[in-house]
Amino acid sequence: MLINRIHVLSATLCISILWAPVGAVAEISADRMPVLIQTHGLATPDGIEVAPSPPRPVGLRGVVSKTANTPEHLIDELVSTAYSQDEHAMAITAKEDKYKSKFHRTVAKVSDLAQFMTAYKGFQASSEAADVILDEKQKLKSRAAVDWVKQKQHDELHCKVVSGLMQIASGLGMSDISKRQQNVDAGVKQLTVLVGAKDANRALTEMTSWAAWVEANRSLTVQEPLSVLKLDSAAKKLLELSLQNDDVVLETRTKLHKYNHHGKLMQGTAKVVNTTLSAAMFTPTIISPAAQILLVAFLMSTGGPEEAKLLKELYLDRRIECRFKMINQESTQAVNNYNVASITGNAVLSQFCHMTANKLAGKKVFCKVVSVDDAFGIASQPSQPLSKASKKTEDVGMTQNGSSAL
């Protein structure tokens, strides 16, 4: 019995001695956190490339990885930088902060009601509407006006940034050294005007690293150029899907639906109330001021006078219009330059067009758009992309982020 106890005690002592180094290694491993190194080196389409780590002692589980921007994220960053450097950005931001305050929102409602009761603004409403339609004057007199002007500036800069990066991608994918440098310089020049030389050179560095990854991972499958009808069909389909996916368009439509999604009961009630109270206002009794107060209360509860609503709807319409122009331009560029890349074998330009289209319409949309047969509308087998990057590309909305993103 004593011998058995001695054996058990000896075994326990041996196990405790052997377990001590393992426990120490486990503590080191638990305290070890993954390390991210910022670099402008090669990057995968997701923006992260796991670098091979050097030999390390057993038990250490630290991870070393590299991060770099993909063109999708680069577009959003450059648009934000370009907007912050725009000469009108400070004035727009100041007006935006002003009209967002509760005080100025209350003042705007009182002003609309005073205009309805007294028409003290004269021809101001019709004059402002004409300026908006003709785009002759951009007066930041309301929150709706500020939202429209801000989005217009953002969308115009977005198109220029995408064009500049696409020009750089086109040059980086060329085999001819002289043409390559000429196209890259043209793209960098456009970005320099928008964001400055420092950010333009940084964009070139990241695009060069990304282009090297695309060239290293390009497929042997050669893309076939699109026919005339197929090219037209792909551009229209991409535009349609982009409009359905765009956050700014969806938000603007939601705001407009507040005005046209009234039920028949509500519409009938508004007609009866407005007619009855307006007639009662002309009576020479105490009913007249009471009717005025009730009419004002009813208008406030339904969003304000119709004149003010129409002006807000006009600004929302212009927001959809300028957004449509941006999406139409970029989707057309993506399809047309994809066709050029297919003809010339430019893998970098082809992959950038994939990313631009997927950013507009959603993940993996572009492969479906260009796979539609030209003349008969029969779906054919989608062609394999020139790079594996299109299979992993994430759709990044505009933060606007919009971006962005719109």
pLDDT at 46 over 70: no
Closest CA to 162 of 72, 93, 241: 72
pLDDT (0 to 100) of residue 69: 58
Residue 171: exposure state from Cβ atoms within 10 A (0-12, 13-18, ≥19): buried
170 to 163, 208, 311: CA distances (angstroms) = 10, 11, 44
pLDDT at 107 over 80: yes
Task: Grade residue 379 by pLDDT with cuts at 50, 70 and 90.
Answer: very low
pLDDT at 9 over 80: no
Please report, for the chain, the start and end positions of each structural domain, with discontinuous segments joined by +: 74-250+316-391
Task: Grade residue 295 by pLDDT with cuts at 50, 70 and 90.
Answer: confident
Using CA atoms, how far apart are residues 253 and 323, in angstroms rounded to an integer? 12
- Residue 38 has φ and ψ, to the nearest 5°, of -75, 130
Please write down the HEC assignment for all residues of the chain. Answer: CHHHHHHHHHHHHHHHHHHHHHHHHHHHHHHCCCEEEECCCCCCCCCEEECCCCCCCCCCCCCEEEECCCHHHHHHHHHHHHHHCCCCHHHHHHHHHHHHCHHHHHHHHHHHHHHHHHCCCCCHHHHHHHHHHHCCCCCCCCHHHHHHHHHHHHHHHHHHHHHHHHHHHHHHCCCCHHHHHHHHHHHHHHHHHHHCHHHHHHHHHHHHHHHHHHHHCECCCCCCCCCHHHHHHHHHHHHHHHHHHCHHHHHHHHHHHHHHCCCHHHHHHHHHHHHHHHHHCCCCCCHHHHHHHHHHHHHHHCCCCHHHHHHHHHHHHHHHHHHHHHHHHHHHHHHHHHHHHHHHCCHHHHHHHHHHHHHHHCCCHHHHHCCECCCCCCECCCCCCCEHHHHCCCCCCCECECCCCC
Q: State percent of the chain over pLDDT 70.
A: 73
222-281: pLDDT as tens digits? 467 888 888 888 999 999 999 998 999 999 999 999 888 888 888 888 888 888 888 888
Most confident residue range from 12-26, 112-126, 164-178, 251-265:
164-178
Task: Grade residue 194 by pLDDT with cuts at 50, 70 and 90.
Answer: very high
Which one has a higher pLDDT value, 69 or 349?
A: 349
pLDDT at 165 over 90: yes
- Of the listed ranges 51-55, 140-144, 279-283, the least confidently predicted one is 51-55
Mean pLDDT, the chain, rounded, equals 76
pLDDT (0 to 100) of residue 111: 85
Task: Grade residue 297 by pLDDT with cuts at 50, 70 and 90.
Answer: confident
> Strands 64-67 and 35-38: what pairing?
parallel
Using CA atoms, how far apart are residues 302 and 259, in angstroms rounded to an integer? 10
Task: Give the bridge partners for 399, in sequence order.
Answer: 401
In the chain, the N- to C-terminal Cα span, in Å, equals: 82
32-44: pLDDT as tens digits? 333 333 333 334 4
340-370: pLDDT as tens digits? 998 988 999 999 998 999 899 888 788 888 8
Which one has a higher pLDDT value, 271 or 395?
A: 271
pLDDT (0 to 100) of residue 118: 82
Q: State percent of the chain over pLDDT 90.
A: 32
Which one has a higher pLDDT value, 160 or 378?
A: 160
* pTM (whole model) above 0.85: no
pLDDT (0 to 100) of residue 349: 92
pLDDT (0 to 100) of residue 326: 94
Most confident residue range from 71-75, 99-103, 330-334:
330-334
pLDDT (0 to 100) of residue 219: 60
Give the number of other CB atoms < 10 A from CB of residue 184: 21
Give the number of other CB atoms < 10 A from CB of residue 67: 15
> Which residue's entry shows tokens 């989707």?
331
How much is the CA Rg of the chain, to the nearest whole Å? 31
Which one has a higher pLDDT value, 190 or 282?
A: 190
> Which residue's entry shows tokens 């606007």?
400
